[in-house]
Structure 1
């Protein structure tokens, strides 16, 4: 019996230590510089939300210590020593008043910064009743399983510029996001810049955040939305305002016309094979006469796909080594969470990796992102008679590589 009790105590101790280790690892307290840690805040909204977390944490810790301390005191102070009944107590007014007031104080301590934080994070402070804002206003639309971002066209207020899975923002400026979904409930989350906000079909939500410094930040859908939910990721690129303006102007421009025969063949095949039915080759989308947003294509916009840092929401390692052969084969790139990054911190697009991944995607999209609409509805994937040949895949890849 004694041996069994000792084994149970050891088992409980091991379980407690395991739970504590899982908690510390899951919260990234030990490594706050992790790419998706909420303990390394790089924007005012995330900073405020982290402050609220610590207020609630310490308030909860005080309550935990007080309650457990009182429990342990009573366990040892009043443990049974003989067969006599303990002294009976019929209430203590002071103690009853104290344990009524104490929780109220704890709740006030937690509630005041929480309510202030809710109002602080509300994007309504930037958006009027007509949906207008003096800040940069970006429409974010959730799809299974990718994010669409639409910016106001700087050259025409009646148009928007659409990009996919890559969100550029100017450093040091609040950016307001209007969140929507075309299918199921998604959730927009950039841990280092702001907490998650749900994207609900036909029920737009709003949020805002601001980046303190230039950099690349990782975001993803934080609401389970289907088989490829884990692949619904995106990247936020914060750059100085002049660089952001130049990027937006470039996105508004048309992709270059093909001159190479293989590229021209790919462009023609892009339309004949039905790719253009789901993917637009122009980033410009007109607004309704009343300024309302119109639905876009089913698939991501591909106007400048070859110049994007992030594709498909799937960070797939390539068999192509990340080396700059012009520098004597010196390795310039490392993998961070499966995403290639330059050792000098600068963004880059590896054409060899992009070519390899585009070919893999076109050949078998289901293997790269299970459950995607392209594999389910695309004519080349559901009708063996229209299956793409190796030559056709190479032509399509060659064409997509020119869309910069």
Structure 2
């Protein structure tokens, strides 16, 4: 009975594993490729899985045939003594080599192709490049995106054009993280001592199906809020991307807040937060001084801290106790602010918009 109970429990756990394996969101699935890199990686996954299934089926079939055809008929039977079969030895040596070649050739080819980032090193006379380059910097627990040729720095929301290669320089500012946009391409680490490089292509049709939004995650265990270290990707047409760049570049100084509350909030912000957070996209601020996310277009973002819906209630709660929502966050809490002051800071931040 105990054995039967164990088998029932094992069967239940197996069934739950199959059910849970189908859970999740389409925009976080690596099995629904939405770009050239993801397509190549997905094809290699299918190829390797097909080869493995083929080998398993062949072994199982041979095992069953041997089990029934060559089983002992009686206790007195002595099997035929065979010292070896050169033909069979050649077959089971050649076939694995052949299968390895089938897998190795496209894998090596794809690896060299995906590792080719030479276009991002070719600069024009004015120092700019013909391709889009984004410097990604990962910190506990937020993401910074710098467009060096466009002289723009933003955070938490990556904006990219579709149907063209986007090149990335990946770096970590404190511990090792990993940059990953599941439907668009495999992860790559952001190290503190070296810069990793990669490229991705965001397919316009897939992006449209996803509402022109993908979601990225940190794929390297980096601390207590690792699971909450998310970022948003807006994949738009080249025309819309150029417009976004133009609008961001037009922000030289933060506009004067429209309301009295927002003006009071700006004063509180300048006295308490400006040391870590910038409210202009210009990348003249040294990297070491950018200790918190850039807030230039905070009012347009969908999330506070990358995880909470962007509204005044969540924003005020985040300002008071960021560690409550992201344990281990380096942002200090401002619970000492009065409710009126929190309302004023929230009014100021919600008014930081570049595009309506």
TM-score range, shorter chain: 0.7 to 0.9
The equivalent of 1:299 in structure 2 is: 292
TM-score after normalising by structure 2? 0.87
The 1-side partners of 2:153 and 2:275 are apart by: 16
Aligned residues: 341
2:257 and 2:348 in contact (8 A); partners too: yes
Q: Is the 8 A contact 1:150 1:163 kept in 2?
A: yes
Distance 1:95 1:12 in 2: 39
| Residue of structure 1 equivalent to 2:92 | 99
State which drifts further: 9-18 or 235-244: 9-18
Match status 1:206 vs 2:197: yes
Structure 2: how far apart are the matches of 1:307 and 1:8? Answer: 54
**Of 261-270 and 78-87, the range deviating more from structure 2:** 78-87
Contact 1:256–1:402 (8 Å) recurs in 2:
no
Task: Note if 1:231 corresponds to 2:228.
Answer: yes
Partners in 1 of 2:13 and 2:84 — Cα distance? 38
Matches within 5 A, 1:292-331: 294-314=287-307, 316=308
Question: Equivalent residue for 1:165?
Answer: 156
Structure 2 residue aligned with 1:177: 168
Query: Which whole-Å CA distance do the structure 2 matches of 1:94 and 1:255 have between them?
Result: 79
Corresponding residue number in structure 1 for 2:314: 357
Q: Which whole-Å CA distance do the structure 2 matches of 1:398 and 1:8 have between them?
A: 59
TM (norm. structure 1) is 0.77
**Aligned residue among 109, 115, 125 for 2:108:** 115
Aligned residue for 2:337, secondary structure, equals coil
Match for residue 257 of structure 2?
A: 258
Which range moves more in the overlay, 124-133 or 230-239? 124-133
Matching residue of 2:31: 39
Instruction: Mark the CA change 1:64 to 1:311 in structure 2 (over 3 Å): closer, same or farther.
Output: same
Identify the match of residue 244 of structure 1 among 226, 241, 246: 241
Contact 1:255 1:304 in 2 (8 A): no
Partner of 2:142: 146
Aligned to 1:328: none
**C-alpha separation between the residues in 2 aligned to 1:240 and 1:127?**
21
The one-character-per-residue Cα deviations of 1:129-172 (angstroms, maximum 9, x if unpaired) are 88974210000011111110001354xxxxx3111111111121
Conservation of the 8 A alpha-carbon contact between 1:166 and 1:309: no
Post-superposition Cα deviations, 1:346-377, rounded to whole Å, max 9, x if no partner, equal xxxxxxx52222111112212221111113xx
Gaps of at least 5 residues in structure 1 are 155-159, 288-292, 318-352, 382-386
Partner residue of 2:187 out of 192, 196, 201: 196
Measured at CA, do residues 114 and 357 of structure 1 come closer, stay the same or move farther in structure 2, by a change above 3 Å? same
Q: Deviations over 1:187-233 (max 9, x none)?
A: 11111111111111121111111112141111111111111111111
144 and 7 in structure 1: CA distance in 2 versus 1, 3 angstrom threshold = closer
Q: Is the 8 A contact 1:141 1:148 kept in 2?
A: yes
CA–CA distance in structure 2, aligned partners of residues 95 and 210 of structure 1: 47
Equivalent-residue separation in structure 2 for 1:15 and 1:74 (angstroms) = 33
Residue of structure 2 in register with 1:396 after alignment = 345
Instruction: Provide Cα deviations, 1:223-260, integer angstroms capped at 9, x if missing partner.
Output: 11111111111111111112111111222213311242
Instruction: Give the structure 2 partner of residue 278 of structure 1.
Output: 276
Q: Mark the CA change 1:44 to 1:102 in structure 2 (over 3 Å): closer, same or farther.
A: same
Shift of 1:39: 2.0
Check conservation: 1:148, 1:300, Cα contact below 8 A: yes
Q: Which consecutive residues of structure 2, in runs of 5 or more, have no partner in the other structure?
A: none
Q: 8 Å contact 2:304–2:318 — kept in the other structure?
A: no
